């Protein structure tokens, strides 16, 4: 009995570690294919570079259908609204496209500052890109959450049962 429970515990740990590793991998891939370009667009000091970088992010979002929905699992919060976030990015891109050679440097500079304010947030840990939490695993957020919760509960139960079996085994030996 104890060996079966240990095997279940080990399998659960492996599933947890695998899901955690996939989550890290997907987060890195999102940063490489979208988030990094948003940061570069925010850091751009000319309109053409900002448009180019922002267009790469928009293309990724559209290709991966990250244009609507919520990344939250238990309840919907404004910070996890993909539709609002995507619309802001798209409108910023469209605004950049309205500028041409006749646009004054002041207007271009103001547009770049507005873009930076749209793309970045200042927080306690410094400036970061405005991105909905959990976007890298969307639309599988519920699956990942379920895996993490299920495996943690299963591992805890397995360890509890093993501990109880050890205590019961000690009682039998004392008699």
Residue boundaries of the structural domains of the chain: 2-64+79-174
> Tell me: the pLDDT tens digits for 45-77?
999 999 999 999 999 999 999 999 999 988 899
Q: Where would I find the H helices in the chain? A: 2-30, 36-43, 47-63, 82-97, 105-119, 141-174
Question: Against a cut of 0.75, is the pTM above it?
Answer: yes
Residue 67 tokens read as 């244009």
Could you give the CA distance from residue 13 to residue 80 in angstroms, rounded to a whole number?
A: 29
Instruction: Tell me which residue of 98, 121, 118, 120 sits closest to 47, measured CA to CA.
Output: 98
Model confidence pLDDT, tens digit, residues 15-47: 999 999 999 999 999 999 999 999 999 999 999
> Terminal CA-to-CA distance of the chain, rounded, Å?
21
Q: Would residue 88 be called left, alpha or beta, if left means φ above 0 and alpha means ψ between -120 and 50 degrees?
A: alpha
């Amino acid at each position: 009995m104890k060996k079966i429970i240990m095997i279940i515990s080990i399998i659960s740990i492996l599933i947890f570690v695998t899901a955690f590793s996939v989550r890290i991998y997907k987060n890195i891939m999102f940063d490489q294919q979208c988030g990094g370009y948003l940061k570069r667009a925010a850091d751009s000091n000319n309109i053409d570079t900002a448009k180019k970088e922002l267009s790469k992010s928009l293309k990724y979002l559209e290709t991966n259908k990250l244009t609507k929905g919520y990344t939250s699992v238990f309840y919907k919060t404004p910070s996890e609204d993909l539709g609002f976030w995507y619309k802001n990015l798209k409108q910023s891109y469209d605004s950049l496209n309205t500028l041409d050679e006749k646009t004054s440097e002041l207007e271009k500079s103001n547009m770049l500052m507005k873009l930076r304010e749209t793309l970045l947030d200042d927080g306690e840990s410094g400036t970061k890109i405005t991105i909905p939490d959990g976007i890298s695993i969307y639309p599988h957020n519920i699956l990942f959450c379920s895996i993490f919760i299920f495996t943690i509960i299963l591992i805890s139960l397995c360890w509890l049962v093993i501990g109880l079996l050890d205590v019961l085994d000690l009682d039998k030996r004392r008699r």
